[in-house]
Amino acid sequence: MSRTIAIVFPEWKQHYQSQGEHYAFTQFEHVVRAVSELSPLVEVEDAGIMVLSARGPTRYFGGEDAVARRLFDVCGTQEVPCGVGIASSRFAARAAALLSVSRATPCVIHHSVSQQFLHALPVGALEKVGSISPHTVSLLQRLGLSQCGAVHHIGESALIDRFGSEGRSVWQLVNGEEVRHLAPGSAPSDFACSLDFESPLSVASHVVSASLTAIQGVVAAIAAQGQQCVRMLLECETDHAETSTRVWGEPRGFDSASLAQRVLYQLDGWLVSNDADPDAPTSGIVRVRLVPLECREVLAVQPLLWGGNEENIERALRAASMAQAVHSSVVVTVPQWEGGRDITQVYSHVPLSMVNIADTEHAQQRVTEGRGVARRWTGSVPQPSPACIFPEPHPALVVDEHGEHIVVSGRHELTATPAFVSVAGYRYTVEGVAGPWPVEERWWDARRRRRCVRMQMLVRTQRNTVRVFLLSLENSEWKVLARYD
């Protein structure tokens, strides 16, 4: 049985969450390139997660313990803690890598104890490591199955009868069977695609835009056969014959939006204007190759109670298509959770062409769960969230009953009780306040450090209308960030 190496950085996205998921993938590309020098075939599953076959590196470096230590030394130079695990299956290797993070040393699960290691894992690992849906894992836990060994004793037929194709996946994970192999294999000739550009493109977004039709064609061709691609080889070549090759994995199957996103991530980490980087390309991209390495049948999806698709999703898709058809300059975006303490930067705007809004599970991860980005931030504004966030904060003046300007002391205390707020020539009477909530970020960095406070104010207009504002005080200047309804 083939052995698998997993390298994980559990806190990678949390570390770069202030810059967003895109920046996290860009920075992770440098780590992948360092690992690629030890083994050319590296599969990236997510920012902070990559797997590779142990067969080649272990023979070259003299055993699994030696290659695990070498990979741990290479990846341990990052600011984020890492873990390296080697086991007989991808699921076990990733679980061993997470165990390696807590031990601060590589974790090698030998074949003789692989089954015992799998049986001792908690059932929650099926969701965290094995990409099993949370509904299935929650049901197993409610049935009193706390470890994967208890799930294994149920038997394959019982799991398939209850959970269908996902039950088969659960059985394969807890039984130690390798569901997704790492060998490149032969690409399906009908699905592979190569796209040449007339002139070199040096901007990653331009390459993605030019490749979007080809990406959609590959995904549509695979879907027409009732299949979905779970492993894709992306190869980009410059005018000077420099290449960037990366294997990407997606357990739920690639759609055109997620595949275009992977192309953007790969190129943004490679097309850098850095003279100190010897691997930086010296010319623009002239060719992009899309080679599906592994395709499988589309997994069955439980239909809605009354059948059909959700009407609001279809209506949103039609409205977006009509808006974009009006003029080429019209851009439709959707929100994506990025995290942070600044209410104006909690969500970023992603082009609709890069997202599949019909995938409700992916939409929930993008907007609600954040795909690994922390939801609870110390010092953040408490719930509920504002109804309207102003793109450009409005300057404001906050004074007490004597007309004196109010500031905040070094102990984050107001110098007086707010009585009036003036915004855009309108004066409001303050009837209640909440806060202030202080924020001190990057105090160790003289250039990027930031110190401010936020407050909620209940105000009344001259027409006796009540409103609630979210204000901030930074550099002795008050600004209105948002409004509550």
Contact residues for 197 (Cβ-Cβ < 8 A; gap 6+):
207, 210, 285, 286, 287, 288
Integer Cα distance of 6 and 54 in angstroms: 9
pLDDT above 90: percentage of residues in the chain: 0
Angle in degrees, CA 52, 58, 60, rounded to 5: 115
pLDDT at 276: 53
Which conformational region is residue 372 in: left (phi greater than 0), alpha (psi within -120 to 50 degrees), or beta? left
Question: Residue 59: phi, psi to the nearest 5?
Answer: -70, -35
Q: For residue 142, how many C-alpha atoms fall within 13 Å in the half-sphere facing its CB?
A: 6
Q: What letter represents residue 447's amino acid? A: R
For residue 52, the cross-strand partners are 5, 42
Least confident span in 363-372, 416-425, 474-483? 363-372
Q: What b-and-e string marks burial along 305-338, b requiring 16 or more CB atoms within 10 Å of the CB? A: eeeeeeeeeeebeeebeeeeeeeeeeebebebbb
- What values do phi and psi take at 221, rounded to 5? -65, -40
In the structure, what pLDDT confidence band is assigned to residue 474 with cuts at 50, 70 and 90? confident
Can you read off the two tokens belonging to residue 349?
Answer: 């705007």
Taking only the tens place, the pLDDT of each residue in 400-424 is 888 888 888 877 788 888 888 888 8
Domain ranges of the chain: 4-174, 193-297, 320-369, 388-484
Beta strands 285-297 and 83-87, pairing class? unpaired
Question: What local confidence, expressed as pLDDT, does residue 306 receive?
Answer: 42
pLDDT score, position 278: 64
Any long-range contacts for 440-444 (C-beta under 8 Å, 24+ apart)?
440/379, 441/341
Evaluate whether 54 touches 84 at the Cβ level (below 8 Å): no
Phi, psi of 378 (to 5 degrees): -70, 135
CA distance 41 to 60: 14
Among the residue ranges 263-267, 332-336, 475-479, the one predicted with the least confidence is 332-336
Poorest-confidence range of 178-192, 248-262, 343-357, 428-442? 178-192
More confident residue, 461 or 109: 109
**Structure tokens that stand for 306 in this block:** 């009354």
pLDDT at 361 exceeding the cut of 80: no
Cα–Cα dist 108/105, whole Å: 10
Strands of 260-345 (E only): list them.
285-297, 333-337
* E strand map for 209-332: 227-238, 243-249, 285-297
Per-residue model confidence as pLDDT tens digits over 136-150: 888 888 888 888 888
Q: Which of 245, 242, 224 is nearest to 289 (CA)?
A: 245
Worst-scoring range by mean pLDDT, 101-110, 366-375, 462-471?
366-375
Task: Give me the DSSP letters along 113-174.
Answer: GHHHHHHHSBTTHHHHTT---HHHHHHHHHTT--BHHHHHHH-HHHHHHHHTHHHHHHHHHH
| Whether the predicted pLDDT of 1 surpasses 70 | no
Q: Which CATH number fits domain 193-297: 3.20.20.140, 1.10.600.10, 3.30.1490.100, 3.40.50.300?
A: 3.30.1490.100
pLDDT tens column, 170-215: 888 888 876 555 554 444 456 788 888 888 888 888 888 888 888 8
Torsion of CA 350, 351, 355, 356, to 10 degrees: 130
Domain with residues 4-174, CATH architecture: 2-Layer Sandwich (3.30)
- What is the rounded distance in angstroms from the CA atom of residue 146 to the CA atom of residue 151? 8
Q: Give me the sign of the Cα torsion angle 367, 372, 375, 380.
A: negative
